[in-house]
Chain A
């Protein structure tokens, strides 16, 4: 089996290549340069399977390959119709695979399964990081909106906080979203004044 790995994260690509080499044994395993167009690489390299990081914006280019006359072999997104849970797991982890020729489900699945395990590990770390960042930016939004209300409407800090709470309740929004709305409206007003 000839495998091409297209990952936005070079370190993860190396790790996956090493794991697959140990697992699949035979066959070539190559890593696609992250900045080169995926469809062009696949058209030249002609692997049997492409493992694709869903963060790549050029994944769409791969979906088009099937209609290129010069490239006779169809390139298809791998889907296991009988195992939607497996597909959900893959997409949830952020990795999919495309196959060229008639690579069979039984050949592809163990390879994709290894990739899923690796991606899930990486994405769990990212989720924790994103949650921490979101909390930070939520707090920044609330602070920003409070400062604006205090400056623009001469509110005290507790009054500004109560105003946001009331607004969030009235509009059935989270507090940070109410703060964002206050800031967005103000940004619009200011830009309007300048225009």
Chain B
């Protein structure tokens, strides 16, 4: 039997590491997949290429996946949730002069906060954090920047702070460019972060695909959890053809502890309805789902199967 050809899109983020590891170590091949990994520079590229069939699957932001399937961003695109790849892993960094200020709302003034995409967990988590600190998210300006540009923007004083994934928060704090004030693990412990989605047509044509992807990625995430493997994995991931980030920074963020991305293993990779509901509830609060039936939103990515509806295809 020949391997099933699959194009998987990802960005250069630590959260995408299991995809590169699965390819390099032959885990996709072992799961019967001939996977080619496509590294994209923007979430918009991932969305467009999924929408027009140039990618079959991708490491995705939950809110963006929902926005795509509901037709809120570009062409309405049927997607299916194949895996929850990681939890936690984002950090909120404030400009040094703002950290610890009791009158945060006044101190921020009109300076914007940066997130990685309008439809991202980063945006939703930042809103949660601002609300808890007495700053109205509706009043705060939130803009999008590539995570690699956030530290520079902070240093220049053009943003008040940012919410980004690993290792960007840790790097800004290490370099003294800003103060890490909260990890997403502290704001919403165990929140779903990166998901793996498959295009509807591709998933429908291959009912075993999601499980095969979970097998391959599970083999990779199991390695990430072994302390003895970390330095070696980080060394491989650091190369310019892979994540193109400093190896020691990657190794530091691979522990899965504290605020680091926590990679799901084995059965944990199965998509969970509660995670999708978490995302939908927050997107609803942020005003992204005006006029949309929330049950419809849920079914757009997960379809219950079986008599009791407790499992998903």
| A residues at B contact (CB < 8 Å) | 37, 39, 54-64, 66-68, 77, 79, 81, 84, 87-88, 91-92, 96, 171-173, 177-178, 180-181, 184-185, 187-192, 194-195
User: Please, which residues of chain B bring their CB within 8 A of the CB of A79?
Assistant: 74-75
Are A63 and B229 interface neighbours, CB within 8 A? Answer: no
User: Please, which residues of chain B bring their CB within 8 A of the CB of A60?
Assistant: 42-44, 116-118, 144, 146
Q: Which of B3, B44, B49, B143 contacts A172 (CB 8 A)?
A: B3
Cβ-based interface call for B26 (8 A)? yes
Q: Which of B2, B3, B48, B118 contacts A91 (CB 8 A)?
A: B48
Give the docked Cα–Cα distance between A190 and B232 (Å): 7
| B residues at A contact (CB < 8 Å) | 2-3, 23-26, 29-30, 32, 34, 41-45, 48-49, 52-54, 73-75, 116-118, 141-146, 148-149, 228-236
Instruction: Closest A residue to B12 by CB, please name it.
Output: A57
Contacts A192-B229, A195-B231 given; indicate if A180 touches B24 (C-beta within 8 A).
yes
Give the docked Cα–Cα distance between A87 and B34 (Å): 27
Give the docked Cα–Cα distance between A66 and B119 (Å): 12
Are A61 and B74 interface neighbours, CB within 8 A? Answer: no
A-B contact pairs, 21 of them (CB 8 A): A37-B149, A39-B144, A54-B42, A57-B148, A58-B145, A59-B41, A66-B118, A77-B74, A79-B74, A84-B52, A91-B48, A92-B54, A171-B29, A172-B3, A172-B34, A173-B29, A178-B26, A181-B26, A187-B235, A191-B231, A192-B229
User: Please, which residues of chain B bring their CB within 8 A of the CB of A58?
Assistant: 42, 145-146, 149
Instruction: Closest B residue to A188 by CB, please name it.
Output: B232
Q: Which of A64, A171, A190, A191 contacts B144 (CB 8 A)?
A: A64
Are B41 and A189 interface neighbours, CB within 8 A? Answer: no
The 4 closest A-B pairs by CB, nearest first: A188-B232, A191-B232, A64-B144, A191-B231
Give the docked Cα–Cα distance between A185 and B27 (Å): 13
Are A68 and B232 interface neighbours, CB within 8 A? Answer: no
Give the docked Cα–Cα distance between A68 and B144 (Å): 11
Give the docked Cα–Cα distance between A3 and B117 (Å): 25
User: Please, which residues of chain A bring their CB within 8 A of the CB of B43?
Assistant: 60
Are B54 and A91 interface neighbours, CB within 8 A? Answer: yes
